[in-house]
Amino acid sequence: MGRGPDEMSTPARLAAPGEGIGRDELALATRNHGLPLEALRHDLTPPGLHYVLTHYDIPYVPDDTAWRLTLGGRVRTPLTLTPADLRSLPAVTTRVTLECAGNGRALLTPRPVSQPWLVEAVGTAEWTGVPLRLLLAEAGPATTAVDVVFTGADHGVERGVEQDYRRSLPLDAALATEPEALVAYAMNGAPLPPQHGRPLRLVVPGWYGMAHVKWLTDITVQDTPFTGFQQTVAYRLRQDPGEEGEPVTRIAPRALVVPPGFPDFMSRTRIVRPGPVLLEGRAWSGRAPVTRVEVSTDGGGTWAEAEPAPETGHRWAWRGWHHTWTAVPGRHVLCARATDAGGHTQPLDQPWNRGGFANNVVQRVEVLCAEEKS
Ligand SMILES: Nc1nc2c(c(=O)[nH]1)N[C@H]1C(S)=C(S)[C@@H](COP(=O)(O)O)O[C@H]1N2
Ligand SMILES: [Mo]
């Protein structure tokens, strides 16, 4: 089966052996910032520290009164809603850990040339909005409906294909209650900031970032599978460019440690003093609740159990954990590994694919334990 837009698009490039991050990747990295890892200490990521990823430009929406969200296609009653209409409906607030599917990409060999994330493309926020399923119920999808397509107001060209940013969900995922997708208008109790989708965005707890369409203008119910660029060309797990590939969907488990001690400015090596060192961090999985976190201080040779924080009831948000390490002078490599209730865990070897998606290889943090210089 042909993949439609594929034939017109150039495959993403892989970096040559030893090729450094290029100017094009640097330009993306300065626009799309990550979470400084010390901010993992916060249950809710403070404003401005949540990661940001935007394929094209952030739309300029100084005032949302002219904004319209249309819901149409294969439905009984098409709807046109303003942000004020949505705010007048019963609201749901959900705490969600959002992670870019490309998180971990720049650690891969060979490196797919794109937004060069290390491990920091993550953040946790409370999103307030209207359950998507209630809007769909009001519109009444046809019995033949299969996919629901979400369009953002941003527009660009990607690998030769001009497009609006567009993604779909299967109808059953769009109607599900666990996780329940939201059409959100607020983040942490305030109107969405421009970079996070002002005035409206989709939030799909447990799914990688690409599904959470920002600057939402239209929802279209289709009775044929959606074949847009971001669905069938990008966000597929492929070894070879010609493969159809599995779609990227739910977030794979990951644990991150707050880098302990203090950093060296350039290398980012951490310096700690000998003796007890508190190792703490976060762990999450969009597939099933995290049940276990392990820590290694020897680069993954041996592992100890970390103490998970008590369950908070926020199923779709990360879980805290901690472990006390007795540091001895010398160089060490810290690692953390999460396992979820479905038995999914993190690999020690890179799970490579051409797009650099879902690379949840265990994090490595270089630490130098040394006495204080007098
Ligand atoms: N309209 C639109 N929505 C979008 C994107 C985009 O480029 N345009 N990027 C997606 C990707 S790849 C990610 S990871 C998340 C990032 O959400 P955030 O910037 O609020 O953290 O938004 C998603 N929604
Ligand atoms: Mo992303």
Instruction: Write the residue with the smallest CA distance to atom 23 of ligand 1.
Output: 210
Which ligand places an atom closest to the C-alpha of 218?
1
100 Cβ inside 6 Å of ligand 1: yes
Residue ranges making up the domain that contains 240? 23-247
pLDDT of residue 11: 82
> Which of 214, 248, 357, when mutated, tests ligand 1's pocket best, judged by the most ligand atoms within 8 Å of its CB?
214
Instruction: Write the residue with the smallest CA distance to atom 19 of ligand 1.
Output: 52
Same domain as 224, residue 94: yes
125 Cβ inside 6 Å of ligand 1: no
CATH code of the domain in which 163 resides = 3.90.420.10
Q: What gap in Å lies between CA 121 and CA 72, rounded to an integer?
A: 33
Residue 175, C-beta contacts closer than 8 angstroms, at least 6 positions apart: 132, 133, 136
Q: Where are the alpha helices (DSSP H) in the chain?
A: 23-31, 83-87, 132-139, 171-175, 229-232
Same domain as 294, residue 155: no
Same domain as 268, residue 212: no
Pairing of β 69-73 and β 216-222: parallel
Helix (H), strand (E) at residue 243: none
Q: Helix, strand or coil for residue 4?
A: helix
Same domain as 266, residue 158: no
pTM of the model: 0.97
Which of 9, 116, 115 has the alpha carbon at shortest distance from 55? 115
179 Cβ inside 6 Å of ligand 1: no
Residues of the chain with pLDDT under 50: 1-7
Residue that terminates a domain, selected from 247, 282, 299: 247
Which ligand places an atom closest to the C-alpha of 151?
1
Q: Is residue 7 part of a domain?
A: no
DSSP 35-70: --GGGGGSSSPPTTTS----SS-----S--TT--EE
Q: Is residue 6 part of a domain?
A: no
How many residues comprise the chain? 374
196 Cβ inside 6 Å of ligand 1: yes
pLDDT of residue 8: 62
| Total domains present in the chain | 2
d(CA 277, ligand 2 centre) in Å: 34
Q: Is residue 213 part of a domain?
A: yes
213 Cβ inside 6 Å of ligand 1: yes
Q: Which atom of ligand 1 is nearest to the CA of 101?
A: 14
d(CA 210, ligand 1 centre) in Å: 6
**b/e string for 115-125 if b means 16 or more Cβ within 10 A?**
bbbebbbbbbb
Please give the C-alpha separations between residue 315 and each of 3, 25, 179, 276, 290, in angstroms, as whole numbers.
36, 34, 9, 32, 9
250 Cβ inside 6 Å of ligand 1: no
d(CA 371, ligand 1 centre) in Å: 44
Q: What gap in Å lies between CA 142 and CA 192, rounded to an integer?
A: 32
Q: Is residue 224 part of a domain?
A: yes
Same domain as 345, residue 316: yes
> Which of 149, 210, 216, 233, when mutated, tests ligand 1's pocket best, judged by the most ligand atoms within 8 Å of its CB?
210
pLDDT of residue 374: 73
Which of 204, 173, 183, 354 has the alpha carbon at shortest distance from 286? 204
> Which of 31, 33, 53, when mutated, tests ligand 1's pocket best, judged by the most ligand atoms within 8 Å of its CB?
53
Same domain as 182, residue 268: no
Residue that terminates a domain, selected from 247, 280, 303: 247
CATH code of the domain in which 325 resides = 2.60.40.650
Same domain as 191, residue 141: yes
8 Å CB contact between 126 and 188: yes
Residue that terminates a domain, selected from 247, 280, 305: 247
